[in-house]
A and B are shown apart, each in its own frame.
Chain A
Amino acid sequence: MTGVDSATNGSAAAGRVAQLNPAAIAVYAFVAILAAGIVFGAFMTPGFLTINNFSAILTSAAFVGIIAVGSTLIMLSGSLFSISLGTTTAVTAILFMFMLHSGVAAAAAVTLLAGTAIFAIQGALVGLIGANPIIVTIGAGAIQEGVIGWLSPGDITPPPGAGIDFLARTIFGLPFSVYVFLGLALVLDLCMRHTRFGLELYLLGENQPAAHAAGLPVALLTTAAFAVAGFCVAVAGVLIAGFAQNVNLQVAGTYTFDAIAAILVGGSAVTGGWGSVGRTVIGALIIATITDMLLLVGASTGMQIFVKGLIVTVVVVLLHLARRERRSP
């Protein structure tokens, strides 16, 4: 046994150097992608370096970003991610539209509560009985799509004079949703850094058996992480309803992938315990910037998806390599 110890001591120096790797490589990777993208975009793309375009980037980052910052809690707590982010976004958007005849405030309250509850149930399944989060969220997504498709096929439009125009309003040149995104991100980031709940989520994501043995409330924490993500998804649903004016199950398009991509490109560990909400904000901005540039140069939808897929893959592989190097001694 002591042999193992001395071996560890011997490579301690190497371990310390390698320890810089995940953070370092991840940060270098963002900076490189972002810088290269902006420089390329600035010089090659007519209309990139304009105030209007930056506002457009932030706007497109906002919806995905709101979903992504909430889902970051799921990933940091070690439960991977939800596969039904887009579905629940659409479901909550539809629910909000449907409830509008009872007034905006009531509709928003019901919608936020429903989004939170839908996710909390899935979190409880994952936390209490150790169900696989991917499978639970795929199943839950199918159930939601089925129920909505059954109850209300087709588009839903708001009743006349519903008073939801404010959701799409622009304040100081930026849409309402951008402020909501940044506000939520700030609150969640502070919460993860400075509250007992946040720290316990990190510990749970770092080592689930250890968290269990140490008496942390594993099931409750997992449920809470999902609940927060569900709340954020419902917020995105409400904002999209206000923005789109008519909603259906397809309204959230590729949001599931985009939100997961934002978290991964931000560099948080897929397996949990390491990363931050702030990183996800950066990830969402990177994805939005690149999407914007591809739009400006007139890339096809296929090209956009291809580039996003490529970036996610490269970042995930880089992070994996960095961590493996650090673990190897």
Chain B
Amino acid sequence: MPDTPLALEVRGVTKAFGPIVALNNVSFTLRRGEIHALVGHNGAGKSTLVKALAGVVSPDQGEILVNGTAVTLASARQSQEAGIAVVEQELSLVPALTVLDNILLGRVGAGFRSRRDDRRRVEELMTRLGLADVGPDTVVEDLSMAERQLIEIARALSRDARILILDEPTATLGEREIKRVFAGVRELASAGSSVIFVSHRLGEVLDLCSRVTVFRDGRMIASRPAAEMDRESIVELMLGKVAEKSKVERRGGGAREGLVVIDRLSAPGHVTDFALGVSGGEIVAIAGQVGSGASEVLRALAGLVPDARGRVSIAGRPMRLGAPQRSIRAGAVFASNDRKSEGLFLRQSVARNLLATRLKAVSRGGVLSPGLSASLAQRLAGLIGFDRKRLGAAAETLSGGNQQKVFLGRCLEKEGAALLLFDEPTRGVDVGGRADIHNLIRHAASKGACVIFASTELDEIMDLADTVVTMFAGRITRIGRRRDMTAADILAEMTHGATNRAAA
């Protein structure tokens, strides 16, 4: 539909955060009635563009035109007034309120309208989205995830949004639910609304969208009709050149076959039938996008998913899931992907943070031994390359990289720890810190521990893993030796469509 008028035009937008250029002279056009996919790997700049359109970040350069008129989107309110609505992956509905109340909640400039008018409009909207069977008085917590997603869209539309941005709307949905959301989205587009569909799921992108725009490293790389593209060509565009490092095969020290055996691990709603055997000294990457279940596999093994089920054994001894203390006793140590809220004790000293999980080892009869504490803290500081003079500093005064080293340092060289679980081990860490952390992880593996880490970053996976497990929608899509896989293979598996290839 090249002749239909432009609903949105982004011209030469640049946005930098400090030294990092998130958007580099990006242009993008969205036609009226179009469903337009925006794809790109981590850090490609998709979410920065979405934030610029939502009025959350202001571009340094460039302009944004809505219906041919230049607009300033300096606040969420201005964005809403320009007819733009963003539906986030994390739903913002209030579960205890009715559908009607949720849709009317926080509406700007509605004035006083009668409840009856509101109700009629809402019913109309819901019929358009295929939700005629859900009454406006239904309480949201009684609805399925897909219905909630559609209510969220209805809310955006009730504010007269003509440009709808869907940010990973399907990450938490099942196949049938996805179909339902897509039907609603198509209905909207045929009524003249324009949709930007941000997704990692290339199968869905090709299924739903008429046009695909690919971002990479803050630049717009290509924008083509979906009919001219397939999965392979999109992956190629997303990836560009990834350095295929011919990494020297690491020698695991005294590999113990099957040190950790995971069988039929499930976390309801997140992970289905995960199975894996890991040898001592082996580093396994679980590669998966947000919502793939990669992170939940680690959390389940760490005992942090109360309803996780499955058989896990470490060194032949079964480990019961569901409580962190049991996992730790069995020899599994976990570092969360969120070091600030689930990792460090920020106002406490670095030494206390390093020792937090092994206070038993540095106390005698319940009384802390200053000598044992100091010597263990110093040994760990040496191991992670942290200045011993700063052991007394509060953890919050450290840089992100050092905080992460301290957090991971807590997990290292722990007596009885056979399985190290690292969720996004280098999140928020600069390049130098990243290399150091990778070396720490390799060192831990070389001492005979199993390491399983979850990552969404291909560089990290290619650099660190011996074995790669790719996950999509809660299931393993492939298990293979890292040296037998290319970055493109991994990305293709991470962005898998509907099919489930058997484990290699």
- Looking at the assembled complex, report how far the CB atom of A127 sits from the nearest CB atom of chain B, in whole angstroms: 13
Contact of A3 among B17, B343, B346 (CB under 8 A): B17
Contact assessment for B341 and A19 in the assembled complex, using a CB-CB cutoff below 8 Å: no
Instruction: Name the residue of chain A whose CB is nearest to the CB of B360.
Output: A196
Q: Is B375's CB within 8 Å of the partner chain A? A: no
- Assess A194 versus B356: contact at CB under 8 Å? Given A210-B343, A217-B325: no
Q: Interface digits, B362-397 against A, CB 8 Å rule (1 contact, 0 not)?
A: 010011100000000000000000000000001011
Q: Interface digits, A198-216 against B, CB 8 Å rule (1 contact, 0 not)?
A: 0110110011011111111
Contact assessment for A197 and B327 in the assembled complex, using a CB-CB cutoff below 8 Å: no
Instruction: Name the residue of chain A whose CB is nearest to the CB of B355.
Output: A199
In the bound assembly, the distance between CA atoms of A157 and B359 in angstroms comes to: 48
Q: Which residues of A contact B22 (CB under 8 A)?
A: 3
Contact assessment for B345 and A203 in the assembled complex, using a CB-CB cutoff below 8 Å: yes
Instruction: Name the residue of chain B whose CB is nearest to the CB of A4.
Output: B428
Q: Which residues of B contact A9 (CB under 8 A)?
A: 399
Q: Which residues of A contact B431 (CB under 8 A)?
A: 2
Interface residues in A168-203 by Cβ distance below 8 A to B read 194-197, 199-200, 202-203
- Assess A3 versus B345: contact at CB under 8 Å? Given A196-B360, A214-B357, A215-B324: no
Contact assessment for A274 and B347 in the assembled complex, using a CB-CB cutoff below 8 Å: yes
Contact of A203 among B43, B334, B348 (CB under 8 A): B348
Contact assessment for A196 and B428 in the assembled complex, using a CB-CB cutoff below 8 Å: no
Q: Is A129's CB within 8 Å of the partner chain B? A: no
Contact assessment for B324 and A194 in the assembled complex, using a CB-CB cutoff below 8 Å: no
Q: Which residues of A contact B295 (CB under 8 A)?
A: none
Contact of A199 among B304, B341, B368, B397 (CB under 8 A): B368
Contact assessment for A5 and B429 in the assembled complex, using a CB-CB cutoff below 8 Å: yes
Contact assessment for A2 and B397 in the assembled complex, using a CB-CB cutoff below 8 Å: no
Contact assessment for A6 and B19 in the assembled complex, using a CB-CB cutoff below 8 Å: yes
Contact assessment for A4 and B400 in the assembled complex, using a CB-CB cutoff below 8 Å: yes
Contact assessment for B363 and A213 in the assembled complex, using a CB-CB cutoff below 8 Å: no
- Looking at the assembled complex, report how far the CB atom of A198 sits from the nearest CB atom of chain B, in whole angstroms: 8
Contact assessment for B363 and A195 in the assembled complex, using a CB-CB cutoff below 8 Å: yes
Contact assessment for B343 and A5 in the assembled complex, using a CB-CB cutoff below 8 Å: no
Q: Is B180's CB within 8 Å of the partner chain A? A: no
- Looking at the assembled complex, report how far the CB atom of A324 sits from the nearest CB atom of chain B, in whole angstroms: 14
In the bound assembly, the distance between CA atoms of A213 and B344 in angstroms comes to: 10
Q: Is A51's CB within 8 Å of the partner chain B? A: no
Contact assessment for A2 and B430 in the assembled complex, using a CB-CB cutoff below 8 Å: yes
Q: Is B302's CB within 8 Å of the partner chain A? A: yes
Contact assessment for A207 and B430 in the assembled complex, using a CB-CB cutoff below 8 Å: no
Contact of B397 among A19, A195, A210 (CB under 8 A): A19
Q: Is A278's CB within 8 Å of the partner chain B? A: no
Q: Which residues of B contact A10 (CB under 8 A)?
A: 18
In the bound assembly, the distance between CA atoms of A6 and B20 in angstroms comes to: 10
Interface residues in A198-251 by Cβ distance below 8 A to B read 199-200, 202-203, 206-207, 209-217
Q: Which residues of A contact B412 (CB under 8 A)?
A: none
Q: Is B401's CB within 8 Å of the partner chain A? A: yes
Contact of B20 among A3, A202, A203 (CB under 8 A): A3
Instruction: Name the residue of chain A whose CB is nearest to the CB of B332.
Output: A215
In the bound assembly, the distance between CA atoms of A63 and B89 in angstroms comes to: 54
In the bound assembly, the distance between CA atoms of A5 and B17 in angstroms comes to: 10
Q: Is B482's CB within 8 Å of the partner chain A? A: no
Interface residues in A130-187 by Cβ distance below 8 A to B read none
Q: Which residues of A contact B368 (CB under 8 A)?
A: 194-196, 199
Interface residues in B190-230 by Cβ distance below 8 A to A read none
- Assess A213 versus B336: contact at CB under 8 Å? Given A5-B429, A196-B359, A207-B341: yes
Contact assessment for B430 and A209 in the assembled complex, using a CB-CB cutoff below 8 Å: no
Total contacting residues, chain B, CB less than 8 A? 44
In the bound assembly, the distance between CA atoms of A134 and B19 in angstroms comes to: 47
Contact assessment for B344 and A197 in the assembled complex, using a CB-CB cutoff below 8 Å: no
Task: From A10, A203, A273, name the one whose CB has the most chain B CB atoms within 10 angstroms.
Answer: A203
Contact assessment for B347 and A209 in the assembled complex, using a CB-CB cutoff below 8 Å: no
Contact assessment for A1 and B429 in the assembled complex, using a CB-CB cutoff below 8 Å: yes
Q: Is B352's CB within 8 Å of the partner chain A? A: yes
- Assess A5 versus B344: contact at CB under 8 Å? Given A19-B394, A199-B352, A215-B324: no
- Looking at the assembled complex, report how far the CB atom of B455 sits from the nearest CB atom of chain A, in whole angstroms: 13
Q: Which residues of A contact B302 (CB under 8 A)?
A: 213
Q: Is A55's CB within 8 Å of the partner chain B? A: no
Q: Is B51's CB within 8 Å of the partner chain A? A: no
Contact assessment for A195 and B399 in the assembled complex, using a CB-CB cutoff below 8 Å: no
Interface residues in B276-307 by Cβ distance below 8 A to A read 302-304
Q: Is A52's CB within 8 Å of the partner chain B? A: no
Q: Is B427's CB within 8 Å of the partner chain A? A: yes
Contact assessment for B367 and A194 in the assembled complex, using a CB-CB cutoff below 8 Å: yes
Contact assessment for B348 and A206 in the assembled complex, using a CB-CB cutoff below 8 Å: yes
Contact assessment for B347 and A273 in the assembled complex, using a CB-CB cutoff below 8 Å: yes
Q: Is B328's CB within 8 Å of the partner chain A? A: yes
Contact assessment for B304 and A213 in the assembled complex, using a CB-CB cutoff below 8 Å: yes
- Looking at the assembled complex, report how far the CB atom of A2 sits from the nearest CB atom of chain B, in whole angstroms: 5
Contact assessment for A203 and B343 in the assembled complex, using a CB-CB cutoff below 8 Å: no
Interface residues in B384-420 by Cβ distance below 8 A to A read 394, 396-397, 399-401, 410
Q: Interface digits, B10-22 against A, CB 8 Å rule (1 contact, 0 not)?
A: 0000000111101
Q: Is B175's CB within 8 Å of the partner chain A? A: no
Q: Which residues of A contact B348 (CB under 8 A)?
A: 202-203, 206, 273
Contact of B346 among A199, A206, A215 (CB under 8 A): A206
Q: Is B342's CB within 8 Å of the partner chain A? A: yes
Contact assessment for A209 and B341 in the assembled complex, using a CB-CB cutoff below 8 Å: yes
In the bound assembly, the distance between CA atoms of A209 and B363 in angstroms comes to: 24
Contact assessment for A196 and B366 in the assembled complex, using a CB-CB cutoff below 8 Å: yes
Q: Which residues of B contact A1 (CB under 8 A)?
A: 43, 400, 427-429
In the bound assembly, the distance between CA atoms of A24 and B158 in angstroms comes to: 52
Task: From B336, B356, B399, name the one whose CB has the most chain A CB atoms within 10 angstroms.
Answer: B356
Instruction: Name the residue of chain A whose CB is nearest to the CB of B407.
Output: A210
In the bound assembly, the distance between CA atoms of A9 and B398 in angstroms comes to: 8
Q: Which residues of B contact A194 (CB under 8 A)?
A: 367-368
Instruction: Name the residue of chain A whose CB is nearest to the CB of B327.
Output: A215
- Assess A210 versus B344: contact at CB under 8 Å? Given A12-B397, A194-B367: yes
In the bound assembly, the distance between CA atoms of A32 and B438 in angstroms comes to: 51
Q: Is A254's CB within 8 Å of the partner chain B? A: no
- Looking at the assembled complex, report how far the CB atom of A311 sits from the nearest CB atom of chain B, in whole angstroms: 25
Contact assessment for A207 and B336 in the assembled complex, using a CB-CB cutoff below 8 Å: no
> Which 4 residue pairs across A and B have the least CB separation, nearest first?
A3-B17, A215-B328, A3-B20, A206-B345
Q: A1-B429, A210-B342 are in contact. List 9 more A-B contacts (CB 8 A).
A: A2-B20, A3-B20, A7-B18, A12-B397, A196-B363, A196-B366, A199-B368, A207-B344, A207-B346
A-B contact pairs, 15 of them (CB 8 A): A1-B43, A2-B18, A2-B428, A5-B401, A7-B17, A196-B359, A202-B345, A207-B346, A209-B342, A211-B345, A213-B336, A213-B342, A214-B410, A215-B303, A215-B324
A residues with CB within 8 A of B: 1-10, 12, 15-16, 19, 194-197, 199-200, 202-203, 206-207, 209-217, 273-274
B residues with CB within 8 A of A: 17-20, 22, 43, 302-304, 324-325, 327-328, 334, 336, 341-348, 352, 356-357, 359-360, 363, 366-368, 394, 396-397, 399-401, 410, 427-431
